[in-house]
Amino acid sequence: MADGSLIKIGSHQIKDNVGYDLTDLIIGSEGTLGVVVEATVRLLPVPFGNPVTGLATFSDMKTLSEGVQNLSGSGLYPSMMEALNKTSIEALDRLDHADLGKGGAEALLIFQLDVAPAGAVDASKKILQDSGALTVSVTDDPDYAKKLIKIRQDYYQAEAQYGRLIVEDVAVPLSKLPDLAKFVSGLKISPEVTAFLGGHAGDGNFHPNFAIPRDSKAVPEDVHEAINKIFTYVQSIGGTISSEHGIGEIKRHWVLPQLGQEVVDIQKQIKKVFDPNNIMNPGRKVE
Amino acid sequence: MADGSLIKIGSHQIKDNVGYDLTDLIIGSEGTLGVVVEATVRLLPVPFGNPVTGLATFSDMKTLSEGVQNLSGSGLYPSMMEALNKTSIEALDRLDHADLGKGGAEALLIFQLDVAPAGAVDASKKILQDSGALTVSVTDDPDYAKKLIKIRQDYYQAEAQYGRLIVEDVAVPLSKLPDLAKFVSGLKISPEVTAFLGGHAGDGNFHPNFAIPRDSKAVPEDVHEAINKIFTYVQSIGGTISSEHGIGEIKRHWVLPQLGQEVVDIQKQIKKVFDPNNIMNPGRKVE
C-alpha cells in the first residue's frame, strides 16, 4: 500500500462474496493503487484428449471476421481464434518461403478447441466453409497442430523484418469485428511504413501494428494520425482503445472520452482511497 | 448513485482494461454502493453435441469429495458437480420412492460435462470408480440425462418434507472439501431437526441446510450453534462463510474475522466514495 503496509485480498475459493471485490480492482490498475508483491494463481488441468486445431484462409479480413463470429456462436467454444491480414501473410511467406497467400488469400485464421467434442473437426470445417473461407484444414493430430500453431508463433518475427514495430491494441464487440477490419484496411499510410492487422479475433481484439524505418527518431506523423483515427472509430462503435496492453501515460487522454466524466471522477476518488498523496505511479491510468 | 445520478460502467468487450474495474466492484455489493437499474449480460451459445451426464454413489461425503477433486483435475472440465449427503438421499427416496441409497450409499454425485470430448463417458466413469465410488452410471443420452438432472431439481422439495428450511452457504478450497464434509457430518443436532448437506461440490461450495419444526418461532439454539461452528471451522481452513448468498445483515459480524481490519477499512472507504451519507442499504455487507 502507499503507506508501506501489506494487505492480503482475494480468496482461495472459486466463488466468494464476502466484502467488495478488491482483487479485480487491483488487477490492471497498473501500480496506481498499490504494488502487487505476491500473487496466487489458479492452475487449470491440461484438457482431456487431443485439441482440434485448424487453419482457414479468406479473401479479406471482413469475411474472416464473419467466420469468427459464426465459430463463436457455434457452441464449439474455441479457445483460440487468431487472425492475420494480407501484409501479415506476406511477411510470414517472406520469413519461411511458405505459400500461405496462394489463391488470393488476404486473411488467415488459426483456431483451436482445447476441449473438442466428438464431430468438432467436421463441424468447424463446415462452419468456416459456409462463412466463405477459400481453404480450410482442420486436424486433431498433435504434430500437424504444432505446425499450424508455429505459423502464429512466428508472426512477430515476420513483422520485424520490415522495421521497428509500433504495436497497438484495440477491441470491439464481436458483432462489430467486420466493420473494424474494413475500417483499418482502408487507412492510408506512406509507403516506407508497413501496416499489419492481426490479433485475437475471438475476443474482438485486433492489434494494428506498424513497422517504421529502423532509424526513425519518433513515430511518423501519418502513423500517429492513423492510430488516432482507429481510436476514434473504435470508440464510436462501442469498442475500447485498450484491450490488453493498458493505458499508462500514452493513452490516458483517451480514457475520458471512453468512460465519461462521472466515471472518471469515481475512479479518481478510488485512487485517493488507496493513494491519498498520489505517490503510486502518478500520471498514469486514470489521471 | 446515492445522489440520484445515473452512470454507465463496464464494457461490451470480452477484454477491456480502460480504467479500474468498477463492474466487479458493483456486482455483489448488495445495493450498498448504488442501485443497478439496467444490466447487459453476455449470452453463451448452447454447447455443440450432447452433454455427458452421470450419477455416482459413495459410502460417505469424504470419498465423494475425493472423487470431485479427481474429476476436477482430470481435464474433462465438468460444468456441474452436485453433491448430496445421506439425509438428502433419504429425503429424495421418501419423495419419489426411488432407491438411491441402496447398497449403503451415503453420498450422491450428479455431474455433467456441457462440452464433452470423445471418450468422456468411459473416462469420467473410470475416474469415479478409481476414487472409490460404489456405483457409477454415465450417459450421453439426453433423455436419460434429464432423469438424472431431475433428481437434483427435486432436492429442495425433498428437504422441505421435513420442516421449514434454514439454508446456509459456505465454501472451501477444493483440496479442503473432504475435511469440510467430515466436519459437518460430525456435528450433533437435536432429533427434531434434520440436517442436510448438499451443494455445488465442484466449486467447493456446500449448503448445510436445516429443516426445523414448522411452528418454530425462531431458529433453534443448537442449529445456531452448529452454524457458528461451521463458520468458525470454514474460516480456520481458509474458506468463506458466504459463497453465493451474500452477507446482508445476518453475516456482517463474520466479515471482519474473514477479511481482517485493514481490508475492512478499505472497503468502508470505498463505500464512502459511492455513498458519503450512508443512505444506500445501510448496515449491510461490510458495516
- pLDDT tens, residue by residue, A263-280: 999 999 999 999 999 999
* Degrees, nearest 5: CA angle B48-B50-B55: 135
* CA–CA min distance A198, chain B (Å): 16
Task: Compare all CA atoms of chain A with the CA of B42 and give the residue at the minimum distance.
Answer: A173
Asked if the Cβ–Cβ distance from B171 to A14 is below 8 Å, we say yes
| Residues of chain A found within 8 Å of residue B45, distances taken between Cβ atoms | 72-75, 77
The partner residues of A84 in beta bridges, in order of sequence, read A108, A198
In a domain, B60, yes or no: yes
For residue A246, what pLDDT is reported?
94
Asked if the Cβ–Cβ distance from A119 to B49 is below 8 Å, we say yes
Asked if the Cβ–Cβ distance from A172 to B13 is below 8 Å, we say yes
End-to-end CA distance of chain B: 19
Asked if the Cβ–Cβ distance from B16 to A118 is below 8 Å, we say no
CB-CB contact of A45 with B70 (8 Å) = no
For residue A177, what pLDDT is reported?
85
Asked if the Cβ–Cβ distance from A45 to B15 is below 8 Å, we say no
Query: In this structure, which long-range contacts are made by residues B70-74, counting pairs with CB atoms below 8 Å and at least 24 apart in sequence?
Result: B70/B127, B70/B128, B70/B130, B70/B131, B71/B111, B71/B124, B71/B127, B71/B128, B71/B131, B71/B202, B72/A45, B72/B174, B72/B202, B73/A45, B74/A45, B74/A48, B74/B123, B74/B124, B74/B127
DSSP conformation letters of chain A:
-TTS-----S-SSSS--SS--HHHHHTTSTTSS-----------PPPSS--EEEEEEESSHHHHHHHHHHHHTTTS--SEEEEEEHHHHHHHHHHH---TTGGG--EEEEEEESS-BTTHHHHHHHHHHHTT-SEEEEE--HHHHHHHHHHHHTHHHHHGGGSEEEE--EE--GGGHHHHHHHHHT----TTSEEEEEEEGGGTEEEEEEEE-TT-SS--HHHHHHHHHHHHHHHHTT-BS-SSS--TTTTGGGHHHHH-HHHHHHHHHHHHHH-TT--SSTT-TT-
* CA–CA min distance A221, chain B (Å): 25
- Cα–Cα nearest to A204, from B10, B17, B16, B13: B13
- Report the b/e string of A214-224 with b at 16+ CB within 10 A: eeeeeebeebe
- Segment B162-209, tens digit of pLDDT: 999 999 999 998 888 888 888 988 899 999 999 999 999 999 999 999
Who's near A44: CB < 8 A, 6+ residues apart? none
- Cα–Cα nearest to B61, from B210, B232, B186: B186
Residue A139 — very low, low, confident or very high, per pLDDT cuts 50/70/90?
very high
In a domain, A83, yes or no: yes
CB-CB contact of B107 with B86 (8 Å) = yes
Ramachandran bin of B84, using left for φ above 0, alpha for ψ from -120 to 50, beta for the remaining angles: beta
Interface test mutation site (partner A, options B17, B70, B235, B267, max chain A beta carbons within 10 A): B17
Q: Looking at the partner chain, which of A22, A72, A203 has a beta carbon nearest the beta carbon of B15?
A: A203
The set of cell numbers assigned to A70 is: 459464426
Q: Is B7 helix (H, G, I), strand (E, B) or coil?
A: coil
Q: Looking at the partner chain, which of B13, B20, B269 has a beta carbon nearest the beta carbon of A286?
A: B20
* Degrees, nearest 5: CA angle B112-B117-B118: 120
In a domain, B120, yes or no: yes
CB-CB contact of A145 with A112 (8 Å) = yes
Residues of the domain holding A58: 52-156
- Segment A142-171, tens digit of pLDDT: 999 999 999 999 999 999 999 999 999 999
The set of cell numbers assigned to A275 is: 493513494
Residue A285 — very low, low, confident or very high, per pLDDT cuts 50/70/90?
confident
- Segment B31-70, tens digit of pLDDT: 999 999 999 999 999 999 999 999 999 999 999 999 999 9
Asked if the Cβ–Cβ distance from B173 to A24 is below 8 Å, we say no
CB-CB contact of B83 with B94 (8 Å) = no
CB-CB contact of A159 with A92 (8 Å) = no
Q: Looking at the partner chain, which of A27, A116, A285 has a beta carbon nearest the beta carbon of B117?
A: A116
Give the integer Cα–Cα distance in Å for A128 and A53.
13
For residue B98, what pLDDT is reported?
82
Give the integer Cα–Cα distance in Å for B234 and A75.
37
Query: Is ipTM strictly over 0.90?
Result: yes
In a domain, B114, yes or no: yes
pLDDT at A97 over 80: no
Length of chain A, in residues:
287
- Cα–Cα nearest to B130, from B75, B173, B71, B77: B71
CB-CB contact of A197 with A181 (8 Å) = yes
| Interface A-B: count of C-beta contacts within 8 A | 227
In a domain, A193, yes or no: no
* CA–CA min distance A278, chain B (Å): 16
Q: Looking at the partner chain, which of B239, B244, B267 has a beta carbon nearest the beta carbon of A19?
A: B267
| Residues of chain B found within 8 Å of residue A258, distances taken between Cβ atoms | 18-19
Asked if the Cβ–Cβ distance from A274 to B285 is below 8 Å, we say no
CB-CB contact of A183 with A233 (8 Å) = yes
Q: Is B78 helix (H, G, I), strand (E, B) or coil?
A: coil
Q: Looking at the partner chain, which of A22, A239, A267 has a beta carbon nearest the beta carbon of B19?
A: A267
CB-CB contact of B17 with A243 (8 Å) = yes
For residue A86, what pLDDT is reported?
94
CB-CB contact of A220 with A259 (8 Å) = no
For residue B287, what pLDDT is reported?
75
Please tell me the total count of domains within chain A: 1
* CA–CA min distance A280, chain B (Å): 15
| Residues of chain B found within 8 Å of residue A14, distances taken between Cβ atoms | 171, 174, 202-205
Residue A182 — very low, low, confident or very high, per pLDDT cuts 50/70/90?
confident
Alpha-carbon Rg of chain B, whole angstroms?
A: 21
For residue B178, what pLDDT is reported?
82
For residue A118, what pLDDT is reported?
92
The set of cell numbers assigned to B207 is: 449448503
Residue A8 — very low, low, confident or very high, per pLDDT cuts 50/70/90?
very high
Give the integer Cα–Cα distance in Å for B204 and B201.
5
User: Which range has the worst mean pLDDT, A97-106, A111-120, A137-146, A159-168?
Assistant: A97-106
Give the integer Cα–Cα distance in Å for A54 and B87.
50
- In CATH, what number is assigned to the domain containing residue A91? 3.30.70.2190
CB-CB contact of B268 with B232 (8 Å) = no
Place of cell 442436510: B196
- Report the b/e string of A91-113 with b at 16+ CB within 10 A: bbeebeeeebbeeebbbbbbbbb
In a domain, B137, yes or no: yes
pLDDT at A245 over 90: yes
Residue A174 — very low, low, confident or very high, per pLDDT cuts 50/70/90?
confident
In a domain, B135, yes or no: yes
In a domain, B169, yes or no: no
Q: Looking at the partner chain, which of A8, A115, A259 has a beta carbon nearest the beta carbon of B115?
A: A115
What's the rounded mean pLDDT across residues B90-104?
92
Asked if the Cβ–Cβ distance from A77 to B18 is below 8 Å, we say no
For residue A51, what pLDDT is reported?
96
Asked if the Cβ–Cβ distance from B285 to A19 is below 8 Å, we say yes
Task: Compare all CA atoms of chain A with the CA of B203 and give the residue at the minimum distance.
Answer: A14
Give the integer Cα–Cα distance in Å for B223 and A53.
54
Burial class (CB in 10 A: 0-12, 13-18, 19+), A132: middle
pLDDT at B97 over 90: no
The set of cell numbers assigned to B7 is: 452512470
Mean pLDDT of chain B: 95
